[in-house]
Amino acid sequence: MDITDREFERLVAFMHDNYGINLSAKRVLIQGRLGNMLRERGFASYNDYLDAVMADKSGAEVTTILNKLTTNHTFFMREPEHYTYLKEVILPYVVANAKTKDIRIWSAGCSSGEECYTTAMLLNEYFGKEKSQWDTRILATDISNSVMEKAKRGVYSADGMKGLSPEWRSKYFNKIGDDKYEICQSIKNEIIFKPFNLMNPMPNNYKARPFDLIFCRNVMIYFDQPTKNALVNRFYDVIKPGGYFYIGHAESIPRGETKFDYIKPAIYRRPLK
């Protein structure tokens, strides 16, 4: 199904204004991912479908269009140098400077859960026998309810677990089929899943209890530069002085547009003062 110029402009504006996603150069992608679905579901035009998306109070149609027009592809131990830096630099710093035994980590745009679960397993390994003395629960948010439901189930294929060591696969997963593995309950219990649209203002409790580390990796690739800059500055406001901010290696933050200090590729830090 072809999309008219006016329909294209309306859809692009809707996705940008509500979710920060820039599809202005994605006309072919939009038609390729939505055209057949609209025809199969009996919609006469893209306008009719957008009307249905806006009228659906359940959020199911918004989830559908978000899933169709973005890519929720991730895997365990993605960008492993981030986890090495977390283990060797961030955690020792946080532990040495903690006033309470509470580590605040947020996986923003958690997708199907591999990122937050990898982080939880690393924390379990790092603290060992002292783990019970610390609150290391991780906040994991996403705009898509369907990918968060997958994350909550915690069931993955062997192919998606290639980045994990055999020891971690054995220790933290239970085999439930020929090619399916479920993450153990103790690690599931470490994650607090909540829906959140990153275009919304940061909740007051995020500001009251700022984070030691925020992951927002491979999320901003869909945003235009002004939207990225505004989001990065909102993240800055909910990170502790001395706290860290991770982005994806395919992303960048213009040096003059943020108060974060650049540490190394895809790793930034809020200054101590």
Residue with token string 């996705």: 15
Report all structural domains of the chain as residue ranges with CATH numbers, in order of start: 5-69 (1.10.155), 80-154+185-269 (3.40.50.150)
**What is the tens place of the pLDDT at every residue in 204-236?**
999 999 999 999 998 888 888 888 999 999 999
DSSP string, 200-245: SPPPHHHHHS-EEEEEE-SSGGGS-HHHHHHHHHHHHHTEEEEEEE
pLDDT in tens, 1-28: 899 999 999 999 999 998 888 899 889 9
Average pLDDT over residues 144-151: 88
Instruction: Answer with the residue of higher pLDDT: 57 or 263.
Output: 263
